[in-house]
Each structure stands twice: as structure tokens, then as C-alpha cells.
Amino acid sequence: MTGDQTFQLGGRPAKYTVLYFYPKDNTPGCTTESMAFRDKHDEFLAAGAEVYGISRDSLRSHEGFKSKLGLPFELISDPDELVCNQFNVMKNKMMYGKQVRGVERSTFVVDAHGRLVKEWRGVKVNDHVDEVLEFVKRLP
């Protein structure tokens, strides 16, 4: 994880953790989504939620992406797809007429005990972050 840290889901200090899985650093959709989470970061914190982005990119790639976009939250590097497989976000997709295996854009809200509260799969970037934020704001 960026910031020279390791990540453990259960026992986080926040009431809720938002994990957004995205396909690749520095691509248009992933950049737009990450900037939207960045722009709403203070509102997520005020609602009691930490935000983390996860992809298969290297830690080095994540550090550059985080710096370039000024992301105030950490990015988790999962090159071996361990976390991606736990959340079942690795999917076969068609890209330029070829079948490839990649991360399905997905977001999960997990409580402080590590229990899944809500999931969004096959996410479209537009308005998604607002939808997640509104959901988190309604949580107790």
C-alpha cells in the first residue's frame, strides 16, 4: 500500500471502509473515478468512512498516480490478485475484440468488523462516487 503501510480490513479506526477496485492507473475512467473520490474525501471522512483504491498496478505505479492526482487516501497494490479474488472482481472482458482478464470496476463498503455492508459491481464512473457517499451518509 502507498505510504509504506500494510492494510488489514478488520479493526480499522473508521466506522466504515470504502474499497474501490479499478482496472489501471493513469487510464481515463480510473483517473476520473479517483479524482471524484479525492474531491469528496473530506465528506467521506465526515461520514465516518475511510477510502482506499485497489488495482493490480505496482506500488511504484500507485505512488506516481497518487502524487500526480493529489490523492489524500492510500492505494493498495494487488499484483497477485489476492484481494481482487477475495472480492471476486477479476472478470473476463472483451477489449479490442480479444478476451482479456481484468478488474471489474467495483466498490464495497465494509464495517469496522470487516463485514460487507454494500457492494456495487460493474460500476459506471459518472455519479458513482456521489451514490456511494449518499449511501455512507445514511449509515448509522
Tell me the catalytic residues.
30
Rounded-to-integer distance, Cα 22 and Cα 107, Å: 9
Task: Work out the angle at residue 122's Cα, subtended by the Cα atoms of residues 69 and 126, and round it to the nearest 5 degrees.
Answer: 50
Question: DSSP per residue over 27-55, as a string?
Answer: SHHHHHHHHHHHHTHHHHHHTTEEEEEEE
Q: How far apart are CA 100 and CA 1, in angstroms?
A: 25
